[in-house]
Chains A and B, each alone.
Chain A
């Protein structure tokens, strides 16, 4: 188990290192931050001075080494767009907003999808099953940004129940979280359903019934305990796509989280922030996956001992 955990950790570190190269290369390929920072009427002297100030006149490999050295210490440099703040600071400042939103989205996904998937599998072929599958298909067929705008119009403008946008309490989070969660709910529901169907068909579930176990115990303690492994393995991917989903949805709802930050940073060629935020996303994703693998091993004794 320890060996397994260590191996996964080392693999993740290797990936992370490769990602630093990609992120650095890509952010520099996007062009010079000077193009976005300076006004159209900037003079030649202004351009040269800024280039010097930002260290952009150094050779690329040296810029990379400096970047890597500093990044290891958690220092990505000063933001070019949010002047006066460190890139790390800007990211740390925005990250909680995304984690809150993403967390809620994840929570909604799980809270809705798991019971829906289980019910749909247990009551297979009934109207409940058809309803759940219909909703799941619907959720997987609608672009998140469009759903977000439609939700704003219905619940904020039309009904006036919830605020349209902005950063605030739980009320502000509901619509964007649903917009992010919609696709995930759909995916997770389908996944849970198919996993449950497979498990419900097994002999050990039959044996549990033979024992005289109640239907609740059979479905949740016997069947779901096994079927859960499948959605669990998906959580790694889920965490990643929640982050990605937040990029679009944060723009629609004016929710200033890390996704919004990433878009703004790329548009402004704010290299330090791009690098910091992408590294954070990558790190979060890799960690989530290592965690999922470990959880997986913990839940399924066969993996643990194999």
Chain B
């Protein structure tokens, strides 16, 4: 159905926009992302009449947009990596448990899934931010909350059907412990699904972070997360469009390439997974 060749362009894009900057921000960023050059506020990018000192222009405090975007990649990677690992781990663990144990455990987990879908995540985030103050960990908590349920639901479904399969029955007859059956026989079979879902959800996380920043409940300023950069520059869409445009572009390109990679991965590993 799909190409088995590695999707080169998305991968290159991802390295260029997200991974490269995340690793090398300190080396390649022309300025300190926190350093204000107050005499150079709202400088346009070099191709729109600005100077070479600030290639993508500066924001209202005279900070270098390019440097902020490059450093922002670091936070994008950190937030999405930690968020996805925690969310996928929690969701998959509960999904495994529910699907394997069935009965009451299953009922409880599935109600929790229902509840977590039914509570509007943005409102929850807002409430959390009001209680604990916006912070990196609050953003992570919201991301985990948003993610875990879909992992749990998907994994549970697969485990339910897996546990009826022969090799599980054989393992059980052979006297394998539950832990062993779960870790040796069932987990490897849902691993692909988890991997593909995780990839596809990465884009969702980056967008969520941006939304939280828009509502003023993201990672606190002046941390240059992409969401905050877009949210902060949104008022200047006409006069100083570069403040929000370039971070927006970074989000767009990253999410785009992540989604393309996710699609590719899905086609390779788990073509039956219907993931949005």
Binding site for B on A (CB under 8 A): 11-12, 14-16, 18-19, 22-23, 26-27, 29-31, 137-138, 140-146, 149-150, 153, 157, 183, 187-188, 190-191, 194-195, 197-198, 230, 234, 236-237, 240, 243-244, 247-248, 251, 262-263, 266-267, 269, 274, 278, 281-282, 285-286, 289
Contacts and interface: CB of A to CB of B under 8 A. Distances in A.
B115 A240 contact: no
A144 B248 CA distance: 11
Interface in B90-137: 110-111, 114-115, 117-124, 126-127, 130-131
A278 B130 CA distance: 16
Interface stretch (B32-40, B68-76, B78-86, B229-237): B229-237
B246 interface: no
Contacts of A18: 111, 115
Contact of B276 (A145, A191, A285): A191
Contacts of A194: 274
B114 A262 contact: no
B255 A248 contact: no
Contacts of A12: 114
Interface string B24-55: 00000000000000000000000000000000
B87 interface: no
B170 to A, nearest CB: 27
Contact of A146 (B111, B131, B244): B244
Contacts of B114: 11-12, 15, 286, 289
B111 A247 contact: no
Contacts of B211: 143-145, 248
Given A143-B211, A145-B231, 5 more contacts: A19-B115, A153-B237, A195-B274, A274-B123, A274-B127
B199 interface: no
Contacts of A237: 117
A190 B267 CA distance: 13
A28 to B, nearest CB: 10
Contacts of A27: 127
B203 A143 contact: no
Q: Is the interface of B mostly helix, strand, loop or mixed?
A: helix
Contacts of A191: 274, 276
Contact of A281 (B1, B110, B115, B123): B123
A91 to B, nearest CB: 13
B136 to A, nearest CB: 19
Contacts of A142: 207, 248, 251-252
23 contacts: A15-B118, A22-B119, A31-B130, A31-B131, A137-B256, A137-B259, A141-B252, A141-B254, A141-B255, A142-B252, A143-B207, A143-B251, A145-B210, A146-B210, A187-B276, A247-B120, A248-B122, A248-B214, A266-B126, A278-B120, A278-B123, A282-B115, A282-B118
A266 B119 CA distance: 14
A157 B237 CA distance: 12
B234 A145 contact: yes
B154 to A, nearest CB: 12
B238 interface: yes
Classify the interface of chain A: helix, strand, loop or mixed.
helix
A34 B66 CA distance: 43
A107 B203 CA distance: 25
Given A142-B248, A194-B274, A19 B118 contact: yes
Contacts of B131: 26, 29-31
A262 B238 contact: no
Given A141-B203, A143-B248, A149 B119 contact: no
A112 B131 CA distance: 40
When A and B form their complex, which 5 residue pairs have the shortest distance between CB atoms, in order from nearest?
Answer: A141-B255, A187-B276, A282-B118, A143-B210, A285-B118
A42 to B, nearest CB: 20
B224 interface: no
B111 A14 contact: yes
Contacts of A278: 119-120, 123
Contacts of B110: 11
B115 A15 contact: yes
Nearest to A12: B114
A263 B215 contact: yes
A243 B120 contact: yes
Contact of B130 (A14, A15, A30): A30
B260 interface: yes
